[in-house]
Structure formats: C-alpha cells, structure tokens
Amino acid sequence: MSLPAAFLTAVERLIPAERRFDDPLSTLAFGTDASFYRLIPKLVVRVEAELEVVDLLKLASAHQVPVTFRAAGTSLSGQAISDSVLIVLGDNWNGREIRGQGSQIRLQPGVIGAQANAVLAPFQRKIGPDPASINACKIGGIVANNS
C-alpha cells in the first residue's frame, strides 16, 4: 500500500527535501534497528523541531497514515522500524536541564542515556533506567520502551 498523494505533497511543503528519504538505499538502511526484524519504511522524515512533529502527526492522522518514531534505533525488539512513515530524531533534540541540585533532570528525547548520567554525576545521581545500550540509546527510546 502506498502513501496518499495528498499526504506526500503536504509533507514536501513541511519538511525540506534533504530531510525526507524515500529512495531504496535510505529506506533499506532505516528498515532495521538492533533487532533482527526488517520493515522497509515508505518514507523517512528527519525532524528538527517540535512544530514539525506536531504538524506531521496532524497530517498523518488526517490521512490515516501510521507513523513510528526512532531515536537511536538500538531496540532489540523492533520498536524502531516501520513499513509506513518513520520519523527520525534530528540532532536538535539534545537539550537537558538540571533542577533542584540534581534531584531532577529534564531531557529531550535525543539525549544519549550515558550523557544524562554524565551531567548528573557531579550530584552523585544517575537516571533510573540502565539498559545495556546506555552508551548509544537515547532518552526517547528509553522512555518509549519503558526501560
């Protein structure tokens, strides 16, 4: 099943061409994560701003197009792959804020788990989840997988 033409046209207006991928090599590359599963997405979109995510979700809902989010792609169970639209976090999702002398931390989904622990280390703290892929996985995936 292909994506609706009206959806694709709207995405083209929203996301610059250099952050949209539908060529066979790119979709094949994004068609796997750390698991042994493979689903080839019809479209890969790299998002750099919250408003882009909001607008993409509105478009997808309006056109009944399923989407999947991908942070680092370290899932061993296939959660970061799709045969529809794959939304990939760009490099602008790495904000972090320490609060209350390290008792709280606010993280954007692109922060690598080990980086979160490094900024908490001066307070003798770390995040609760401790996946084996902590040096590569991102907070978005950690939260999405309930690690």
Q: C-alpha 78: how far from its chain's center? A: 13
pTM of the predicted structure, to 2 decimals: 0.92
Residue extents of the structural domains in the chain: 5-89, 96-144
- Apex CA 102: angle with CA 137 and CA 47, to 5°? 35
From first to last of the 147 residues of the chain, give the pLDDT tens digit: 799 999 999 999 999 999 999 999 999 999 999 999 999 999 999 999 999 999 999 999 999 999 999 999 998 989 999 999 999 998 899 999 999 999 999 999 999 999 999 999 999 999 999 999 999 999 999 999 886
Which residues are CB-contacts of 21 (< 8 A; sequence separation ≥ 6)?
A: 27, 30, 43, 44, 45, 46
Eight-class DSSP state of 122: G
Instruction: Decide if 75 contacts 35 (C-beta within 8 A).
Output: yes
Third-level CATH fold of 5-89: 3.30.43
